[in-house]
Amino acid sequence: MSVFNFDIIAESTTTRARAGVIQTARGKVETPVFMPVGTLGTVKSLTPDELTSAGAQIILGNTYHLYLRPGCDVIEQFDGLHKFISWKGPILTDSGGFQVFSLAKLANITEEGVTFQSHIDGSRHLLTPEKAIDIQTCLGSDIIMCLDNCIQHPASHAQTRQALEITSRWAKRCKVAWQAGVNGHNAIFGIVQGGMFKDLREASSEALIAQDFNGFAIGGLSVGEPVETMLEIADFTLPKLPNEKPKYIMGTGTPEDLVELVALGADMFDCVLPTRNARNGQIFRQQGTLNISNAKYRHDTRPLETGCACYTCCNYSRAYLRHLFLAKELLAYRLNSLHNVYFFLNLMKQMREAILADDFESFRKDFYKTLNN
């Protein structure tokens, strides 16, 4: 039996937002939660200590990347990713599906799995549902994701149906492989596909629910569709998933997306936005983003965001951060990332507090008021 558990402790009476607690073998996660992305075993430029200080409870590792580099043979030496990267909290790993279809070359699908060429050295690999579970088990992941067949956007109804049907059959094989393993310490989540078609999202949800996963993710969103479409599909799909299970929207999104998706009942999120944009000089703030390279910050002695309690804002000015960024100093990427990650984590915390106080609607109003001021 898995130690994994999910309890809802508060629900908004005016939206579908809810606050919960996920229990894992490596500790609790309070939801709604944002998971910083540690693609290659590092949330780019930051240490685990900094992530913890910023409020991170759980991070994400990418199976595709870690399988190719450094490889499972290395991570096995450390009994998994946690000890290898020195992160003590829970880790969720994706299945590699998304990267195989977006990053790798010549991905070729059969019923068995997907063959692809590494984007690093062109070496050929076969990723099957069973292998995706094996790799994630080797990584010591606390939340394992099923292998899914991700498609390009836009895609036809027929293509999308075919992909979701393979995804459903692979999910079944993933569950079997996971159950056959020695693990009782982790959880397995299914991934709903179905593109931008509601009937297919419904069919995918039903197929996965029948297999009783520990949680359910919605994949294939934020792939280039308009925000309205993304929200419409999430709005349609989230209620189809069992309320007593965590609901995870993969690879999303902007602060506005997160607020809207929490309102629609989503519990978990991951996105490279805070770290990637930090490295490009874009800073997230309640008042909206700023680009630190802008000449108007040359003499600006204020922190990135007035009132922000992050390490960067407590110690550094816009003028200094602009100087570091223009000089391409490594510290720039780090201090910007620290602020952005803190901003995302703090936004989730604020939403959770609003849900606990059953005050989510006024939080949302204030959020947009500050943003557009």
Q: Which residues bind its own copies (CB under 8 A)?
A: 40-42, 44-48, 69-70, 73-74, 77-78, 84-86, 298-299, 301, 315-317, 319-320, 322-324, 326-327, 329-331, 333-334
List 94, 148, 257, 267, catalytic entry: 94
Query: Cis peptide leading into 253, omega within 30 of 0?
Result: yes
Of residues 158 and 314, the one with the C-beta less far from its own copies: 314
Across the chain, where does the E strand assignment appear?
A: 5-11, 18-24, 27-31, 33-36, 59-61, 91-93, 105-109, 114-117, 124-127, 143-145, 187-192, 215-218, 247-249, 268-271, 282-283, 290-291
Let me know: does 150 contact 101? Beta carbons within 8 Å.
Answer: yes
Closest approach of its own copies to the CB of residue 283, in Å: 17
Let me know: does 211 contact 171? Beta carbons within 8 Å.
Answer: yes
Of residues 125 and 198, the one with the C-beta less far from its own copies: 125
Of residues 278 and 347, the one with the C-beta less far from its own copies: 278
Closest approach of its own copies to the CB of residue 318, in Å: 11
The terminus-to-terminus CA distance of the chain in angstroms comes to 51
Of residues 1 and 314, the one with the C-beta less far from its own copies: 314
> DSSP assignment of 206-223, as one string?
HHHHTT--SEEEE-S-SS
Q: Which of 274-307 are b and which e, b meaning 16 or more Cβ less than 10 Å from the residue's Cβ?
A: bbebbbebbbbbbeeebebeeeebeebeebbbee
List 212, 235, 270, 359, catalytic entry: 270
Let me know: does 245 contact 214? Beta carbons within 8 Å.
Answer: yes
DSSP code, position 297: G
Closest approach of its own copies to the CB of residue 115, in Å: 24
What gap in Å lies between CA 194 and CA 165, rounded to an integer?
9
Measure Cα distances from 233 to 101, 127, 193, 272 in Å: 21, 28, 11, 21
Of residues 189 and 320, the one with the C-beta less far from its own copies: 320
Q: Does residue 94 have an active-site annotation?
A: yes
Q: Does residue 358 have an active-site annotation?
A: no
Measure Cα distances from 6 to 23, 177, 209, 243, 298 in Å: 6, 23, 16, 10, 48
Closest approach of its own copies to the CB of residue 322, in Å: 8
Of residues 1 and 330, the one with the C-beta less far from its own copies: 330
Q: How many helices (H) and strands (E) does the chain have?
A: 15, 16
- By annotation, the residues acting in catalysis are 94, 270
